[in-house]
Structure 1
Amino acid sequence: MPFDPASATIAIVTYNRSGLLTRLLTSIAEMDPKPGHVVVVDNASTDDTTAVVESFRDTLGTELIYRRMETNTGGSGGFSEGMRVAFELGSEWIWLMDDDVEVIPDGLAKMGKWAPRFRSIQGRRYDYDGSEFYWQYRVAESLAIPIPFAPASFDASGYREMNSGCFEGMFIHRDIVEQIGLPDPRFFIYWDDQTYGWLASRRTTSVIVDEFVLRRTREIKQWDMGIRHMNASSDAYRYYIMRNRGHIKQYYRSLGIHNPVLFGLGTALTFAKELIRLVFVERKVRGTSNLFRGLRDGRMIAKDRSWRPMPPLAAQPTA
């Protein structure tokens, strides 16, 4: 069936970045074609986010739904809520975005071109400076870590198969959401989208396509490694990077693929990578305590016998 833009919903998560959100909503107002709905999930911002959203109510050119959370649920909780709202609206396609990107005017048409063939699609992004942004689209499954040097070029097919995901542009069909459930809010931040994309790839052929559909609007401190970049992080990210390995371990166990030795090696490599990030990107050594706290709390999560994966969603008719 041909792709119908009105069947798509853009779901955005924002937190205290109303200036960036303004740029994103402005770019959506300039899109052609536009999606049927735009859902903005506000993680209890304390700036003028509510006023910014309301200022686009009559000018966005499509239906705008605003969900303000009572507390900051992190990107994981925000995208889980955004996906839930979009699914309950009957959306066939859900396009997830952080607030620090803007949409290329024909971005939805470019994604829709691939919709008849695939059910989990990732487009490409321009970086803040206009260069091509490289995203690690392949995961070494046994290690549960991204492969940093997976080929960046595309052949004549225009796509590469992936087994990961990124909520900065994931374009996913409701059939897959129904099967794997909502994004897991327990992650709070980090590993959530990689895990969700990996779960999707177990149900369908997931692809990254050679289509530039987004542009990053926030500059991030980087270490230029020549063929790749390593971004700066934060103490919160360092904590959740290690803690959430516990959730990934539980997902692996629930699917019967957990290899303790290889998964442990992946955890050690992740720890080492964060140490390198501290020294070479952020030029400091303070912050390692957050890595150790994350390891400790991740072990507690991994020992929780009551832990269960996110459940599949009951089938609901589309609008």
Structure 2
Amino acid sequence: MQDPAAGGRLFLVITTFNRSDYLRGLLDSVALLDPAPAGVVVIDNASTDSTADVVAGAALSLPFPLLHHRLPVNVGGAGGFSAGIRRALSEDADWLWLMDDDVVALPDALAALTPWMERYRCLHGRRWDPSGKPFFWQHHLNEFLGVHLPVRGNVFADSRVFHTNVGCFEGMLVHSDVVRDVGLPDPRFFLNGDDTTYGWLISQRYAVAYVDEFVLRKARPQKQIDLGVRHLNDSSDLGRFCAMRNRGHLARYLQHQGRWNRMGFALGTALTAAKEVFRLLAVEHTFSGLSAVWRGWREAREILADEDWLPMPPLVAAGDIPGRGVSEMQRIPGANGIDDAPGAP
């Protein structure tokens, strides 16, 4: 078990929906972590497969507590991580390691991350892709466009740490004090862009680090093309819709922080739409998702015009969450789960 004197109680927070086979692989890998975490919270987004049986089986074999928190409806990755962090905080977690269900943890992951936890309060380790190659994740949010752009080259050529201003819920390790200060991830995103925005909000107050330590391996292969400076994965109509719709929420957060530029953001929205159309044509070879892009764009405009929109509030104490929470989230009509989310924007 983790020694509290070496950094405090660390909980894994896993969000899952109808991917019990991947979840089983992840929980099997978690059992091999050395040092071990203090516990695991599995947020079950109302799965209808064998997820409950997988969790129950793992709970009997893991040498630390596994808490199965089943939600009555699917609230997406954003809502799931919001609920999972809240649950972990109620267990007096000091650190929260957030991850999707389709990765596996490397046995020495926590040992590799521990030295960095003395320096940073929000950090990410590296990932292998399913073929055993380094997974590309090195981005920076361009505030003028409201678009996270890939950073070219080897960001670890001269340093073992790359400072960024975005986050990723496929391995973000964040301290509870940061969460209390910044607030929970915004469940209104449902999926797509929630972790990018959360990382950006954290970066306004704390350093956000990407460190040269391989700690996870992606288990789910995806159709993708290599564009040289980045990889473009396949998506879904839900993913496309949220990619466009959530620009409305991102714009409101930029406005709230005094970083929004109307013309620049409009250009960024056009570029985002073009990327989604290119993804359809080049990766998925179809036109059928164009309507989802258009619907998301329209809803983003409605969010921008919403006079009642408010950012997620900070937490005044663990378990004390003012304002809206996951319990007040409504399911998006037609949502078919977080497994539709692209692995990389």
Task: Please state which band the TM-score falls in when normalised by the shorter chain.
Answer: over 0.9
Does structure 1 residue 193 correspond to structure 2 residue 195? Answer: yes
Shift of 1:22: 0.2
Does structure 1 residue 58 correspond to structure 2 residue 60? Answer: yes
Cα gap change, 1:66 to 1:2, in 2 (>3 Å): closer
SS in 2 for 1:11: strand
Name which of 164, 177, 180 aligns with 1:178. 180
Deviates more, 1:129-138 or 1:33-42: 129-138
Which ranges in structure 2 are unaligned for 5 or more consecutive residues?
320-345
Name which of 124, 144, 148 aligns with 1:146. 148
Query: Structure 1: which amino acid aligns with 2:283?
Result: V
**Contact 1:24 1:99 (C-alpha < 8 Å) held by counterparts:** yes
Shift of 1:3: 6.3
SS in 2 for 1:57: helix
RMSD: 1.6
SS in 1 for 2:98: strand
* Partner in structure 1 of residue 121 of structure 2: 119
Query: Structure 1: which amino acid aligns with 2:113?
Result: M
Shift of 1:224: 2.3
Cα-to-partner distance string for 1:36-90 (whole Å, 9 max, x where unaligned)? 0100000000001001100011211111111000000000000000111112221
Deviates more, 1:153-162 or 1:19-28: 153-162
**Contact 1:5 1:108 (C-alpha < 8 Å) held by counterparts:** no
Which residues in structure 2 correspond to 1:99-114 (within 5 Å)?
Answer: 99-114=101-116
Cα-to-partner distance string for 1:182-226 (whole Å, 9 max, x where unaligned)? 000000011100000001111111110000000000010011224
SS in 1 for 2:174: strand
Deviates more, 1:271-280 or 1:134-143: 134-143
Under a length normalisation based on structure 2, what TM-score does the superposition of the two structures give?
0.89
Of all paired residues, the percent bearing the same amino acid is 48
Separation of aligned partners in 1, 2:93 and 2:302: 37
**Contact 2:240 2:296 (C-alpha < 8 Å) held by counterparts:** yes
* Partner in structure 1 of residue 225 of structure 2: 223
* Partner in structure 2 of residue 24 of structure 1: 26
* Partner in structure 1 of residue 255 of structure 2: 253
**Contact 2:140 2:151 (C-alpha < 8 Å) held by counterparts:** no
Which residues in structure 2 correspond to 1:74-85 (within 5 Å)?
Answer: 74-85=76-87
Separation of aligned partners in 1, 2:258 and 2:208: 21
* Partner in structure 1 of residue 171 of structure 2: 169
* Partner in structure 1 of residue 89 of structure 2: 87
Cα gap change, 1:92 to 1:199, in 2 (>3 Å): same
Separation of aligned partners in 1, 2:308 and 2:227: 43
Name which of 258, 281, 289 aligns with 1:279. 281
Cα-to-partner distance string for 1:129-158 (whole Å, 9 max, x where unaligned)? 110000133111221111123443304531
* Partner in structure 1 of residue 342 of structure 2: none
Shift of 1:6: 5.7
Separation of aligned partners in 2, 1:254 and 1:177: 18
* Partner in structure 2 of residue 98 of structure 1: 100
Cα-to-partner distance string for 1:218-265 (whole Å, 9 max, x where unaligned)? 010011224532101111101000001111111111112211001111
**Contact 1:5 1:36 (C-alpha < 8 Å) held by counterparts:** no
Which ranges in structure 1 are unaligned for 5 or more consecutive residues?
none
Query: Structure 2: which amino acid aligns with 1:256?
Result: G
Separation of aligned partners in 2, 1:264 and 1:292: 15
Separation of aligned partners in 1, 2:126 and 2:25: 19
* Partner in structure 1 of residue 331 of structure 2: none
* Partner in structure 2 of residue 267 of structure 1: 269
Name which of 110, 123, 129 aligns with 2:131. 129
Shift of 1:297: 0.8
**Contact 1:243 1:297 (C-alpha < 8 Å) held by counterparts:** yes
**Contact 2:8 2:94 (C-alpha < 8 Å) held by counterparts:** no
Query: Structure 2: which amino acid aligns with 1:241?
Result: A
Shift of 1:282: 0.7
* Partner in structure 1 of residue 235 of structure 2: 233
Deviates more, 1:205-214 or 1:219-228: 219-228
Separation of aligned partners in 2, 1:129 and 1:155: 23
**Contact 1:200 1:206 (C-alpha < 8 Å) held by counterparts:** yes
